[in-house]
Amino acid sequence: MKRLLIALFCVLSFPVFAQEQTASVHEANKEEEAFNAGELILHHVGDAHEWHFFGEEGEGPHFTLPLPVMAYQPGKGLSVFSSHHLYPEGTVHEGLKLEHETLEAVDGSKVYDLSITKNVASLLLSVVLLIAVFFTVAGGYRKNHGHAPKGVQSFFEPIIIFVRDEVAKKAIGPKYERYLPYLLTIFFFIWFNNLLGLLPGAANLTGNLAVTFLFAFLTLLITTFSSNKYYWSHIFWTPGVPLWLRPIMIPVELIGVISKPFSLMVRLFANVTAGHIIILSFIGLIFIFNDIKIAPLSIAFGLFINVLELLVAILQAYIFTLLTAMYIGGAVEEHHDHDYGIGGDDADAPLHVSGGHAH
């Protein structure tokens, strides 16, 4: 009788346990398949070994451009192959695999990643675009010499003149011509890549710290090697402050030399990346709430921020170029006594009043 009751209990309770197990598995799968906004955003703003434009493999139409993987391993040599061999992540090919877009060796040995990633491909594309545009502008200058500009030249000429007259001349002074090519290069490179980054599936090149660091480092090198003795005398023996305070000002001024280009690097990186994150966050709200009713509002805010980013694109290029010109101008300016409030040879001359006017 006892065994019969136990068997009956097991038979009656089995459907309940089975239902609970099925529900638990279903909830677990649902959590795994849930939309991960953070992962999507980080995937978009980060670098990758393939250029993904839209869609997911196995889930309808998709377009992904494989990129060359070039990896050097000491003792094993150079490996070159297409990145499609490494996707999905974790796939092993020639002893290599990707973990969070970082190329690693399966055996744990050192790997030097020399691959053409999405950001590198975008960099090369923007360089080709810049060369094509400005060779066209230069050809227009030669062709229309002495005449009104036409075509592409008529669009870019006012911008070039603005950078020359309102940025280079005013911030650097008489020596501006020496630095104008660099200022024009960083202005148009940052502007073009900011705009390219707003296209669907585009790379976040100017939101990459390696790129902003390079321009900031170049600005530091140009500023340092263009500086004159008055620039360094201002740093190591700051005029206009009490004598006892001058030794204290030396480390402060030296920190300022480094912090200026550092601020250039972080400002560009943060502003560009923040714009991408905000746009993707608004679009991601549709999938987070899983409600089509929120779509019009999310898309409206996303489009507004996207249009605002068109202004931010040229504004960040202008700010980076202007501050670079100001740092260079501070390094190359000549010594003037009136800059420090000294006044000149007759600064201590008595004030004469004649006919109601001071002399």
Gap between the Cα atoms of 335 and 333, Å rounded: 7
Question: Is pLDDT at 215 greater than 90 in this prediction?
Answer: yes
> Chain-centre distance of CA 99, in angstroms?
23
- Tens of pLDDT, residues 338-347: 444 433 334 3
* Contact between residue 194 and residue 317 where contact means Cβ atoms under 8 Å apart: yes
The pair phi, psi for residue 302, each rounded to 5°, is: -65, -40
pLDDT mean over 178-192:
96
pLDDT band at residue 286 under the 50/70/90 scheme = confident
- Of residues 20 and 70, more confidence is placed in 70
All structural domains of the chain with their residue ranges: 47-115, 119-335
The listed range with the strongest mean pLDDT (7-11, 224-228, 322-326) is 322-326
pTM: 0.80
- Tens of pLDDT, residues 1-46: 444 333 433 333 333 333 334 334 344 344 445 667 777 788 778 8
What pLDDT, on the 0 to 100 scale, is given for residue 18? 36
What pLDDT, on the 0 to 100 scale, is given for residue 145? 78
pLDDT mean over 84-101:
88
pLDDT band at residue 141 under the 50/70/90 scheme = confident
Expressed in angstroms, the distance from the first to the final Cα of the chain is: 125
Gap between the Cα atoms of 17 and 46, Å rounded: 45
| Structure token digits, residue 160 | 């070039």
